[in-house]
Amino acid sequence: MKFTAWATAAVFFVGIAGPATSQSISLSLEQAMDLAADQSFGVRQAQLDRDLAASETAELIRTGLPQISGSVDYSNYIDIPTQVMSGGGFGLDPHLVTFLGGVSDATGVPLNAPAPDPDAISEFQFGAAQTLTAGVTATQLIFSGSFLVGVQAAKAWAMAKESSVDASVQDARRAAAEAYAAVVVGHAQVALFEDMIQVVGNAAKDAQKMAREGLIEPTDADQAELQFSAIQSQMSAATMGVFIAEKVLAFTCALPAGHLVETTDDIHALESSLTGIRTLATDFRVDRLPTIQSLAHKVELSELGIKIERANGLPTISSFYSNQRNAQRDAFDFMGDGAWYPIQLVGLKVGVPLWSSGSGKEKMAQARITHEKASLALEQMTLAAELEHHGAMSAYISALDQKQQSETGFTLAMRILDHTGTRFAEGEATSFEFTQATSQALQAQGNYIQAVLASLNAHFRLQHAHGK
């Protein structure tokens, strides 16, 4: 029998072009899930966010530790600043004037001091042209309410990011499991097509032989050939689907470009490894879900946000110590024997917020609204998680029932096709009966494959709903 042109191209692309340009890695279901949990893009992004939050927390804590800074200031006055003062600005002290007047009277020697000119201006220049100041300053935060609460908030934020990593890992494992199941079920579908091709192909060969011998109409033989060609075409499409599914699985596991995953678990191994029935008997704890834990940390964070706004009204106390040396020269000669003048001080700084024109009140209102939004999101997600749990249980039970029924139907359809094909080859069944049996088998096979995949995905959904 002949392949169609499209089927030949598809088989060539999948069977020849694919392996020539790809590398393969063999993985079981559990290995694929572990690989995705370790290196999927979503998990790695969440891990970076977690590391960033941890670093920001450490940075905030270190701002409360002693801070030491050094400084060197150099100035070159091209023109030394000039200060002016009225002519009598440096007048003598009144007591000294009285004393000198008494001496003058006692000795008879007149002072002969000129009268001061109130309109006169005296000019003075202080300092040197070259100035260099070097010093060290240390500061220490003693008390800050907003800092103390801010550290708690930063830790809560880091914990929320840690829960986000757990949620991302859970999502990655489910995505990898579903992609893996798609590959395995795809391979199973191709195998079923091969079995069906064997049955229909044999019947088509016998029909062609009987047509040449004049035992049946040529149209009946052509009808059998048409069925065989249609099944080949569908198998080629299924083979292409497996190739694409392997690409999706490789992407889900964040494998480099050009890598494909070869599944080591077949469909029977997957079905036997499912623990959905045991999961149904497990107590559901919504507080154990990583998503709920992450939102709970955000609620805690919003509560701390309110405390931070309250703490902003408390005083901030810090101490400082400064030790400097200052040199002044007429020329740039700071390495010589000239004098260095010390400047050393220690102090305490207290900042007290007095009036913010009502902005503090608005910030407090905003913090309360943020807290209400976080609490509402947690309540909504809690109800949604419980609803998803019940939906996942119902979907899993229904999927198991559908799989059992479709498996029974497919077994019957294949039995009918095999019997009808034999009768058709012997001339006891018409081409219409053979075509109808083939269509029933194809439909039953499709239903079975969909039911198997749905049952696997329902299991993964149930596990995910339980936080596994």
Residue 99 in any domain: the answer is no
Neighbours of 449 (CB within 10 A): 19
Number of domains in the chain: 1
Residue 439 in any domain: the answer is yes
> Which parts of the chain sit beneath pLDDT 70?
1-22, 86-97, 100, 111, 113-120, 215, 275-281
Q: How far apart are CA 266 and CA 269, in angstroms?
A: 5
Residue 209 in any domain: the answer is yes
Q: How far apart are CA 344 and CA 169, in angstroms?
A: 57
Helix orientation angle between 145-212 and 218-252, rounded to the nearest 10 degrees:
160
Q: How far apart are CA 117 and CA 92, in angstroms?
A: 14
Instruction: Read off the CATH number of the domain in which 278 is found.
Output: 1.20.1600.10
Residue 61 in any domain: the answer is yes
Dihedral sign (CA 324, 327, 332, 335):
negative
Give ∠ CA 387-390-392 in degrees, rounded to 5.
105
pLDDT score at 428: 79
Cβ–Cβ < 8 Å for 187, 235: no
pLDDT score at 134: 93
Residue 419 in any domain: the answer is yes
pLDDT score at 88: 57
Q: From 269, 277, 267, select the one nearest 449 (Cα to Cα).
A: 267
Give me the domain span that covers residue 61. 5-66+145-313+356-465
Q: Name the E strands within 291-380.
A: 316-329, 341-351
pLDDT score at 281: 62
Q: How far apart are CA 444 and CA 438, in angstroms?
A: 10
What's the gap between Cα 190 and its chain centre?
Answer: 37
Instruction: Give the DSSP letter of residue 37.
Output: H
**Strand pairing class (82-86; 121-125):** antiparallel
Instruction: Tell me the chain's radius of gyration from C-alpha atoms.
Output: 44
**Strand pairing class (316-329; 341-351):** antiparallel
Q: What b/e string do you get for 376-403 counting C-beta neighbours within 10 Å, with b at 16 or more?
A: eebeebbeebeebbeebbebbeebbebb
Residue 345 in any domain: the answer is no
Cβ–Cβ < 8 Å for 229, 204: no
Global pTM exceeds 0.85: no
Residue 325 in any domain: the answer is no
Q: How far apart are CA 145 and CA 76, in angstroms?
A: 44
pLDDT score at 425: 73
Residue 269 in any domain: the answer is yes
DSSP per position, 150-212: HHHHHHHHHHHHHHHHHHHHHHHHHHHHHHHHHHHHHHHHHHHHHHHHHHHHHHHHHHHHHHH
pLDDT score at 5: 39
Residue type, 225: E
